[in-house]
Amino acid sequence: MSPIVVIIIAVVLVLLLCTVAAWMVTMRRRKLREQFGPEYERAVEAKHGRRAGERELREREERHDALDIKPLPAPVRDRYTQDWTRVQETFVDLPDDAVHQADRLVTTLMSERGYPTKGYEQQLKDLSVQHGRTLEHYRAAHEVNDRSSRHQATTEELRGAMVHYRELFDELLHNGDRPRESQE
């Protein structure tokens, strides 16, 4: 074989390998974006770069895979649904208390599903693997809950926090695989 043919074959092979590698990176990035939703961009921004952000998200996946996340049996889901109804009923007379109770109920539900509940930031990271599209609701509710503890939240903000907590509550309650509307 002539040296030119060998060089051409080598160049074609290198280009082919580069194309495959680029395709794999693109597919992995697309998978992370789909899986984490808005959390993907948040992680990239927080880590000041796509590569570091994606590494962080893969580490979250690995940690999540090591957790014993379990679905809830129907009787347990029913009990939590009743608990949520009681919390909502409290809102009319004691909106601050209802928001605090909603926060505790969501945290208890996380724990029962198998999520560690120590540290808010770690909760967000752990939840982001399967509930990335719901985390903005949780963040908003948690922020109002904190302000409510200092008596700085309006009734309308407290009402919004209840709606936000409900989003994550429903997703956790139904194992993240069925929207609430299809349940009723």
pTM of the model: 0.78
pLDDT in tens, 27-79: 888 888 888 888 888 898 889 888 899 999 999 999 999 999 999 999 999 99
Dihedral sign of CA atoms 121, 123, 126, 128 in order: negative
The token pair that represents 175 in the structure block? 């194992």
CB 8 within 8 A of CB 15: no
What are the CA-CA distances from residue 127 to residues 12, 48, 59, 135, 174 (Å)?
Answer: 44, 22, 13, 8, 14
The token pair that represents 126 in the structure block? 């752990």
pLDDT in tens, 111-139: 999 999 999 999 999 999 989 888 999 99
pLDDT in tens, 145-171: 999 999 999 999 999 999 999 999 999
